[in-house]
Amino acid sequence: MRRGSMILTIVGVLLALTTAAIAYVVLVRGPGPEPPTPTPTPEAKVPAVIAVQDIPAYSDIAAEAVGTQDIGESKLTNHLLAPEAVVGRRAARTILRGSFIMSDWIVDPQAVVQEGKNASLNITPDREGRSRVAMAFETTELRGVAGAIQNGDFVDILISYQLLDTEQEVPEPVGPAVEGCPVPCPEATGVLLAQLLLQEVEVYRVGPWLIPTPTPAPEGEEEEEEEAREAQPQPIRSRTLTMLLTQQDALVLKFARESGASIDLVLRGRDDREQVRTETVSLPYLVARFEIAVPPAPLRYITAPKGE
């Protein structure tokens, strides 16, 4: 028994020494190296258009107002990627410096008119910086330059009034009343005046704005129809015009239209921006300027109404 106990004691001491030696080695060496962390693949980036200065709403975007800056592909939505897609277009909102420019933040002025929608995005101040509004005006073929007016043209507006003298003393009838001529038969005479009302009015659009969506053509005919339209472009003809006017001039035109004035439009040359001074035209003006010979006592004679 004593010998077996001694052997067990010796074995236990050896195991303890072995354990202590292993622990010492582990503590001295420290923990083993961690497994290497995989290096993430960098995200691909693309250049996108960015504003390098504040761009006011409804202003034309100049080349010096934009640049490019890289952006991760995962962050792309409706970003514009080429400066050519921005320069020359019009800002549909205020674009702050440092902002990436989105496709719905700009508008093509020509597309606004041609597509007949988003009219407010293209209403700009006049040459003097005064704000303008769009106003619809209905004319006729005769008074609207025979349909020659097109989008972007400039017109002058002429008016004429038939003025009656409310304080004129109407003479008594010379003879007995006749059928269709109540007593007193003589009517009050009037004065016809013609005047240049407004100058250099921009025609925003000819025709209505809400253009119906065209019916899709059968397959095989779309290209033929498109080629035919491009080969034979037709001018726009409509009695309805949308014009750009200052608020005050819009009121002037409204008054002239609703007060019974006769209104005609005259078309300006494409590059004609001259402001002219005119004189009111009346019968005495014509007589004096063109030296028209009139009968004795000229104040007794006036131009006869049309149809008589």
Residue 99 shares a structural domain with residue 145: no
Mean pLDDT of the region 66-77: 90
Q: Could you read off the pLDDT of 291-306 as tens digits, one per residue?
A: 988 777 656 666 666 6
Rg of the chain (C-alpha set): 43
Q: Is the dihedral of CA 198, 201, 207, 210 positive or negative?
A: negative
Residues 92 and 50: their CA atoms lie apart, in Å, by 15
Q: Are residues 197 and 73 in the same domain?
A: no
154 with 56, same domain: the answer is no
Residue 64 domain-assigned (yes or no)? yes
- Is 11 within a domain? no
- pLDDT at res. 116: 79
Q: What is the pTM of this model?
A: 0.62
* Backbone torsions φ then ψ of 212, nearest 5 degrees: -65, 150
Does residue 19 lie within any of the structural domains?
no
Is residue 100 situated within a structural domain?
yes
Closest CA to 143 of 271, 255, 261, 249: 261
**Most confident region among 109-123, 172-186, 198-212 by mean pLDDT:** 198-212
Count how many domains the chain has.
2
3-class DSSP state for residue 15? helix
Instruction: Say if residue 134 is in the same domain as residue 279.
Output: yes
Determine, yes or no, domain membership for 277.
yes
pLDDT for residue 308: 42
pLDDT in tens, 153-181: 999 999 999 887 777 665 565 555 555 55
One domain, residues 72 and 156: no
Residue 306 forms part of a structural domain:
no
Residue 191 near residue 238 (C-beta atoms within 8 A): no
Q: Are both 103 and 128 inside the same structural domain?
A: no
Residue 272: which of 206, 204, 201 has the closest Cα? 201
Look up the domain containing 66 and give its range: 45-107
Q: Determine which of 1-5, 32-36, 48-52, 80-84 has the lowest per-residue pLDDT on average.
A: 1-5
Q: Please tell me whether residues 251 and 153 are part of one structural domain.
A: yes
| 136 and 244, same domain (yes or no) | yes
Do 193 and 251 belong together in one domain? Answer: yes
130 and 96 in a common domain: no
Domain-embedded: residue 278: yes
